[in-house]
């Protein structure tokens, strides 16, 4: 589906939730079900290699993810989880995102991340875990990270992704007419 949306130029932007480092055991442990990691990686590749705005998100559940896991996810985005939400070009509303908006509804993105996403760079947004909204009753008493720690790790993730910024196909074609 993602491939068709991108190929037919039906989306301006795409966001994909990543649950864990891209390893079968880690992903299955965090999601609680077996996963098709090959399909997840293919989706990431398609999104990452596109020239549209792209945002990857991960919800930081302290009991399930470590700081190191988050850095591994950032590194997993180069070279290669997982529901996705798209902003359609039509004027209709899909999945709570207004058509035509450039992820301005993503309150957790900084201005720098927004500009980077607009330029085709990969952004990984850390989302704060909210125990009152969890489906897993065992996590209802889990404490989220302090906001300062979340921001510190987010800055490190931003640095990792900025240093590893891919050369987009469109850029390569411009440089090699």
**Per-residue pLDDT reduced to its tens digit, 3-57:** 999 999 999 999 999 999 999 999 998 888 999 999 999 999 999 888 888 899 9
**Domain count of the chain?**
1
For 61, which DSSP code?
-
**Per-residue pLDDT reduced to its tens digit, 149-173:** 999 999 999 888 876 555 444 444 4
CA-to-CA dists, residue 63 to 33, 35, 108, 131, 140, angstroms: 18, 20, 21, 11, 11
- Residues forming beta bridges with residue 88, ordered by sequence position: 11
- Residues forming beta bridges with residue 94, ordered by sequence position: 97
pLDDT of residue 133: 81
pLDDT of residue 77: 83
In-domain check, residue 138? yes
- Pick from 30, 158, 15: nearest CA to 83: 15
CA-to-CA dists, residue 96 to 10, 38, 85, 86, 147, angstroms: 17, 28, 9, 10, 26
In-domain check, residue 80? yes
Show the domain range for 50.
Answer: 2-167
Q: Give pTM, 2 decimals.
A: 0.71
In-domain check, residue 26? yes
Kindly report the CATH number assigned to the domain that includes residue 77. 3.80.30
Q: b vs e for 127-162, b when ≥16 Cβ sit within 10 Å of the residue's Cβ?
A: eebeeeeeeeeebeeeebbeeeebeebbeebbebbe
Return d(Cα 170, Cα 157) in angstroms, integer. 25
In-domain check, residue 172? no
In-domain check, residue 174? no
Percent of the chain whose pLDDT exceeds 70 = 67
Return d(Cα 96, Cα 34) in angstroms, integer. 28
In-domain check, residue 173? no
In-domain check, residue 57? yes
Given a cut of 80, whether residue 74 has pLDDT beyond it is yes
In-domain check, residue 156? yes
């Amino acid at each position: 589906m993602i491939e068709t949306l991108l190929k037919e130029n039906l989306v301006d932007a795409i966001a994909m939730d990543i649950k864990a480092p891209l390893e079968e055991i880690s992903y299955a442990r965090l999601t609680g079900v077996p996963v098709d990691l090959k399909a997840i990686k293919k989706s990431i590749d398609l999104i990452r290699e596109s020239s549209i705005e792209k945002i990857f998100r991960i919800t930081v559940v302290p009991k399930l993810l470590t700081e190191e896991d988050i850095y591994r996810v950032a590194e997993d985005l180069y070279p290669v989880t997982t529901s996705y939400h798209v902003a359609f070009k039509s004027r209709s509303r899909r999945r709570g995102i207004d058509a035509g908006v450039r992820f301005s509804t993503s309150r957790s993105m900084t201005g720098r991340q927004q500009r980077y996403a607009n330029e085709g760079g990969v952004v990984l947004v850390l989302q704060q875990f909210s125990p009152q909204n969890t489906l897993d009753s065992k996590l209802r008493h889990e404490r989220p990270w302090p906001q300062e720690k979340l921001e510190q790790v987010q800055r490190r993730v931003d640095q990792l992704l900025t240093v590893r910024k891919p050369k987009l196909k469109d850029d390569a074609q411009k440089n090699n007419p």
